[in-house]
């Protein structure tokens, strides 16, 4: 039997520490409770939203006039050649667990905030590796039909920070099987530690933020590409340039709207310096997009999802 709470503040469930209340809030710990919560939403004709780690989400100051389902199933089964883990599993904890067993392939994802379910949905990744590179299969619940379906990697239709599940919100990730290689536990753990250290170097102030706010944009201007490659001494990957470099190029570090600010340490981090509202973060994001568009002709698109905004903010 699920417990349905009313008017639950959502800010504590997000890394931004921003957002109004959920009209209804349900913590779901297994498939049965998830189905029960979805039935409640359907019977009352209420919108619903799945909430994982809240690490890639901006919730409006008015909150969400529907049902928020907090994913709390996080069982992990280590296998000889990989791992099977439920959607609510913390991604960094999972990387640490598999590395300790000498299972390699996820080290560059150490320190990525959020859950495995969110990582699969958004094809999360860093430093040249993404979840699609290690994914074997995904088990999902189709909220419209009530059926549990298994997708192979090809069926997930992964793209840059996207997947079939992100484009079809009725498909709710339950668990994923990851295929990993056998290696040295000591070397794998050291690589994971090094990745986390690199991340911390960009974010030593531990401000409230969601990490990268914008996706790395596709850039076609040869002058911008040439400048990036010359300055950074690296190649532009698949036509994409880091959004942080683009934003910094326009001189937007420390730019503020109220208590929302572009981080001094990493220009693709929009941070809550204390008491920031969702409206301030949204206005800052729009300011950044407009300045970049005007100066470089580059279109930035949010990696972060928006919830509860009117009019509805659609992510690509």
Could you list the active site residues? 161, 212, 303
Residue 307 dihedral angles phi and psi, to the nearest 5°: -135, 130
Element counts in the chain: helices (H) and strands (E)? 8, 19
Whole-angstrom Cα distance, residue 130 to residue 157? 13
Q: What share of the chain is helix, strand, coil (3-state, %, to 5)?
A: 30, 30, 40
Whole-angstrom Cα distance, residue 56 to residue 242? 18
> What token pair was written down for 42?
């359907």
Q: Residue 105 CB: number of other CB atoms within 10 A? A: 19
What lies within 8 Å, CB to CB, of 129 at 6+ separation is 105, 106, 108, 109
Contact yes or no for 278/19 (Cβ under 8 A):
yes
- Choose among 73, 116, 119: nearest CA to 94: 116
What lies within 8 Å, CB to CB, of 202 at 6+ separation is 265, 266, 269
Contact yes or no for 264/253 (Cβ under 8 A):
yes
């Amino acid at each position: 039997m699920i417990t349905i709470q009313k008017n639950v503040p959502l800010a504590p469930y997000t890394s931004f520490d921003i957002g109004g209340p959920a009209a209804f809030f349900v913590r779901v710990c297994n498939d049965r409770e998830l189905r029960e919560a979805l039935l409640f939403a359907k019977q009352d004709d209420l919108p619903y939203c799945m909430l994982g780690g809240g690490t890639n989400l901006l919730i409006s100051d008015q909150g969400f006039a529907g049902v928020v389902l907090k994913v709390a199933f996080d069982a992990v089964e280590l296998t000889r050649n990989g791992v099977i883990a439920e959607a609510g599993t913390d991604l960094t904890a999972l990387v640490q667990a598999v590395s300790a067993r000498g299972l390699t392939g996820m080290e560059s994802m150490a320190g990525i905030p959020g859950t495995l379910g969110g990582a699969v949905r958004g094809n999360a990744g860093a430093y040249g590796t993404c979840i699609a590179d290690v994914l074997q299969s995904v088990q999902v619940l189709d909220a419209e039909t009530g059926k549990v379906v298994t997708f192979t990697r090809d069926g997930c239709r992964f793209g840059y920070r996207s997947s079939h599940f992100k484009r079809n919100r009725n498909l709710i990730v339950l668990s994923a099987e990851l295929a990993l290689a056998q290696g040295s536990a000591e070397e794998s753990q050291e690589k994971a530690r090094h990745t986390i250290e690199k991340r911390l170097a960009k974010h030593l102030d531990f401000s409230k933020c969601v990490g990268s706010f914008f996706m790395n944009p596709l850039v076609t201007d040869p002058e911008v590409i040439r400048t990036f490659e010359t300055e950074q001494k690296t190649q532009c990957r698949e036509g994409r340039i880091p959004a942080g470099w683009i934003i910094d190029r326009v001189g937007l570090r420390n730019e503020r709207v109220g208590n929302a600010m572009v981080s001094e340490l990493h220009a693709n981090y929009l941070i809550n310096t204390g008491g920031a509202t969702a409206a301030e973060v949204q206005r800052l994001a729009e300011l950044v997009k407009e300045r970049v568009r005007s100066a470089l002709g580059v279109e930035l698109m949010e990696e972060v999802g928006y919830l509860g905004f009117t009019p509805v903010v659609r992510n690509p």
